[in-house]
Amino acid sequence: MEGKATSLANLLQGCIDKKAHLAGKLIHAFILRSNGLLSNTFLSNRLVELYSKCGNIGYADRVFDKMPHRDVYSWNAILGGYCKFGSLGDAQELFLKLPERNTVSWNTLISALVRHGQEETALGVYDTMILEGFMPTRFTLASVFSACGALLDVEHGRRCHGLAIKIGLEENIYVGNAILSMYAKCGLIRDAIRVFGDMAEPNEVTFTAIMGGLAQTDRVLEALEMFRMMCRKGVRIDSVSLSSILGVCAKGGEGGGEYGLDDQSDGFPCNVNGQQIHGHTIKLGFEGDLHLNNSLLDMYAKNGDLNNAEKVFANLPKVSNVSWNIMIAGYGQISETQKALEYLQRMRSCCFEPDEVTYIHMLAACVKSGDIKSGRQMFDNISCPNVSSWNAILSGYFQSGDHKEAIELFREMQFQHVQPDRTTLAVALSSCAAMGLLQAGKEIHAASRKAAFQTDVYVASGLLNMYSKCGRTETAKHIFHNMLELDIVCWNSMIAGLSLNSQDKEAFTFFKQMRHDEMRPTQFTYATVLSCCAKLSSSFQGKQVHVQMTKDGYMSDLFVGSALIDMYCKCGDVDEARKFFDMMPSKNTVTWNEMIHGYAQNGRGDEAVLLYRDMIGSSQKPDCITFVAVLTACSHSGLVDAGIEIFNSMEQEHGVVPVLDHYTCIIDALGRAGRFHEAEVLIDEMPYKDDPVIWEVLLSSCRVYANVGLAKRAADELFRLTPNNSAPYVLLGNIYSSLGRWDEARDVRDQMSDKQVIKDPGYSWIEYDKGKQTGMEDDNFMVIDDEVEVASNKKSFYAA
């Protein structure tokens, strides 16, 4: 009988090894018919193990329940069955009932929990195992390190690493690879490299883990060097290693030229590294490996080499949804939305059903190319969009300027109970800021508090920007001062917000505090603060900023340089602005525009025109703003013929179509020179004759030359276009008054009264030792805020 049992046990072991379910059931039937064999614990254990391995947990349960005698192996076998079947609740319940546990019992449960994504529970079971005095094995530690890596729980991982060293398992290749992988996943690449260096004989798993960790922390060149070392050492290269290094090459493509994936020894571009590895895959006979082929596709696509990606795709022996998705994402990355759509159609025609990843890639492609309408269709095809999908469509609406739809979509996201992340909140807040929607911004602020993002610096800068643009600088300052940590973006948002609300002195105070806190300004900081100095007409403070930006090395920055030129010009120090302009190593259109505009502002039209001609001579292409600046200079300095010549050259020589601002400048120049016939001809020919600005400019010029007829025409046009505007009534009335035509002047005032048009009061200010006082002019007197009433001569006031 004993020999028979041994033979049957060997047969069952063969069935277990081959997962031969049917053959095992036949042996089970034979055992049932044989007297005395059913009570054999050894055979019953084999049967439980067989059914567990074959996934037939029902049969395994029956055999286990009918066993007259169970040993620890019996309990471990049925526990393994539950774990393999995925019944982790039953497995944990059974584990608590085990009459006896050994290391296998603990390992079985821990590994199953890790495999099914219950890493925290697995670590809890492991801690209990240690407390009960069980010594972990290499299998235990491998599972535990995997759990620590998944949870990014470095502290737990370090404790386990210490225990591994204590019991002498750190040199085990299985444990060593798990430790290395844990540190790599946690981003602790120095620790991972140290573990790698201590390993006597690293294998392909070791190299794969370290390459992945290096790529994850953007150390792409070092990851490539690891692969070369792997080849030099003769370590076996498998499909997983090749997939990993192809991922490294793809990582280089994602970053463009940032990572400099060139092999510094031979100058090959990063794509060549991928092509060399492609050659390895063919040489090693992995052409049929679908996962590896998809990695190849991904590498070529992310490097923007869609021609080679097409070739790989066309020669795939087998494709999957992943293959199609990679091609769609690749074309989306280079903004070829039409090609991405073609692949989507081909995918469907080949009987592949697009999944959520497909639609997410299509959504990203549409958003990147600016096709927000198609992007929304793709978004609507996603059954349960995740936060990344919501962020993509929200960003699309924001970038296209449809802020209202972005905010509505954010509200819909809330109704769908999708938890926003920092990107979601920042985009939604930016849309509120763009539209000045304070109430909607407050709702998003509340959502950020609910999601515990109110102290996130990324979200905080969005809140500062939103409240500032809605005129709530006090709320913005409250948020700013309650931040636990401030980065440069928060400081910039606060300074810019104060400047936007004309609180330039306070903005400058914040700038000084920022310097005091040793926060290094960026070019945006300097540009904003220089703008504050310009608005305050404070060249003294502007010069201080100039000195600081020189120390910080921003002298050659075009953005800051343009702001500095603007500051000096607005403070009246055009010569200092020109001195800096001439010192700049490189100039762009904005820089030239600022200097030309500076001359225009300060009445130095001849120099503005000369500088414009220098700009043309330097092959710098003028833009719309350039012509506004130089035409303004011509207008203010009486350079009418030069202005007409430049105006006529705009479209013919430089391809810039004149818009309202350009017509306004040239009509102003003609009006100031008294060349009204030319001005009228131009107005009759231009496409902006129904814009009130043109007629106001012309009416102002008529007042200087007492051109009553044209003034009456201009005023009539303004009465039609802006019936509630008091300016044409006042200007026309002043023209009649200056000529002594009192009856007509009275008629204008009567019209104004009949139509209930109210003249807006004018304001002026004076500065004295104690500060600034604001004055308000009305029809008969000017009242100074300091309760002083002063009689006013209107003519001298207007002249001032």
DSSP letters spanning 202-255? --HHHHHHHHHHHHHTT-HHHHHHHHHHHHHTTPPP-HHHHHHHHHHHHHHHHT
**CA triple 551-556-557, angle to 5 deg:** 95
Task: Give pLDDT, residue 37.
Answer: 66
Name the one residue in this structure whose structure tokens are 């993509």. 392
For the ranges 95-104, 573-582, 742-751, 785-794, the maximum mean pLDDT occurs at 573-582
Burial (Cβ within 10 Å: 0-12, 13-18, ≥19) of residue 411: middle
**Confidence check: pLDDT of 738 > 60:** yes
For 87, residues 6+ apart whose C-beta sits below 8 A from its C-beta are 57
The token pair that represents 473 in the structure block: 């600088």
Q: Please tell me what DSSP assigns to residue 354.
A: P
Task: Give pLDDT, residue 767.
Answer: 45
Of the two residues 166 and 791, the one the predictor is more confident about is 166
Q: Which residues of 192-203 are buried (b: 16+ CB within 10 A; e: fewer)?
A: bbebbeebeebb
Element (H, E) at 340: helix 337-349
**Confidence check: pLDDT of 266 > 50:** no
Task: Give pLDDT, residue 119.
Answer: 93
Burial (Cβ within 10 Å: 0-12, 13-18, ≥19) of residue 61: middle
Q: Please tell me what DSSP assigns to residue 87.
A: -
Pairing assessment for the beta strands 762-768 and 788-791 based on DSSP bridges:
unpaired
- Given a contact cutoff of 8 angstroms between Cβ atoms, the answer to whether 428 and 412 are in contact is no
Task: Give pLDDT, residue 252.
Answer: 63
User: Average pLDDT over the chain, rounded to whole?
Assistant: 84
**Confidence check: pLDDT of 782 > 50:** no
Reading phi first (left if > 0) and then psi (alpha if -120 to 50, else beta), residue 304 is in left
Name the one residue in this structure whose structure tokens are 């159609």. 345
Task: Give pLDDT, residue 212.
Answer: 86
Amino acid code (one letter) for 572: G
**Confidence check: pLDDT of 784 > 60:** no
Residue 669 pLDDT grade (very low, low, confident, very high; cuts 50, 70, 90): very high
Q: Please tell me what DSSP assigns to residue 686.
A: S
CA 116 to the chain's CA centroid: 33
Task: Give pLDDT, residue 253.
Answer: 57
- What's the alpha-carbon Rg for the chain, to the nearest Å? 39
Name the one residue in this structure whose structure tokens are 């997410």. 360
| Sheet arrangement for strand 762-768 | 762-768, 771-777, 781-784, 788-791
Residue 781 pLDDT grade (very low, low, confident, very high; cuts 50, 70, 90): very low
At 510-560, the pLDDT tens digits run 999 998 888 899 999 999 999 999 988 888 888 989 998 888 888 888 889
**Confidence check: pLDDT of 261 > 80:** no
- Given a contact cutoff of 8 angstroms between Cβ atoms, the answer to whether 136 and 173 are in contact is no
Q: Across residues 162-177, what is the average pLDDT?
A: 92
Residue 255 pLDDT grade (very low, low, confident, very high; cuts 50, 70, 90): very low
CA distance 214 to 192: 9
Task: Give pLDDT, residue 491.
Answer: 93
Task: Give pLDDT, residue 15.
Answer: 85
CA distance 380 to 285: 42
At 384-420, the pLDDT tens digits run 888 888 998 999 999 888 999 999 999 999 888 888 9
At 140-160, the pLDDT tens digits run 999 999 999 999 999 999 999
CA distance 551 to 531: 19
Q: Which of 416-425, 603-612, 757-766 has the lowest mean pLDDT?
A: 757-766
At 1-36, the pLDDT tens digits run 556 767 777 887 888 787 787 887 787 777 777 766
The token pair that represents 597 in the structure block: 């505009």
CA distance 773 to 107: 82
**Confidence check: pLDDT of 103 > 60:** yes
Amino acid code (one letter) for 686: M
Task: Give pLDDT, residue 35.
Answer: 65
pTM higher than the cut 0.85: no
**Confidence check: pLDDT of 788 > 50:** no
Q: Across residues 488-506, what is the average pLDDT?
A: 92
**Confidence check: pLDDT of 626 > 60:** yes
Task: Give pLDDT, residue 36.
Answer: 61
Q: Across residues 321-338, what is the average pLDDT?
A: 90
At 331-387, the pLDDT tens digits run 988 888 889 889 999 999 998 988 888 888 898 888 888 888 888 988 888 888 888
3-state SS class at 771: strand
Q: Alpha-carbon torsion 420, 426, 428, 429, what sign?
A: positive
Task: Give pLDDT, residue 21.
Answer: 74
CA distance 576 to 177: 65
Q: How many residues does the chain have?
A: 800
Q: Which of 183, 187, 186 is nearest to 197 (CA)?
A: 183
Helices (H), 655-793: 660-672, 676-685, 692-705, 708-721, 727-738, 742-754
For 433, residues 6+ apart whose C-beta sits below 8 A from its C-beta are 441, 462, 465, 466, 468, 469, 470
- Given a contact cutoff of 8 angstroms between Cβ atoms, the answer to whether 671 and 698 are in contact is yes
List 762's β-bridge partners, or say none.
Answer: 777
Helices (H), 602-675: 605-617, 624-637, 640-654, 660-672
Q: Which of 427, 388, 435 is nearest to 410 (CA)?
A: 427
Q: Across residues 424-445, what is the average pLDDT?
A: 92
The token pair that represents 727 in the structure block: 């300016």
Amino acid code (one letter) for 311: K
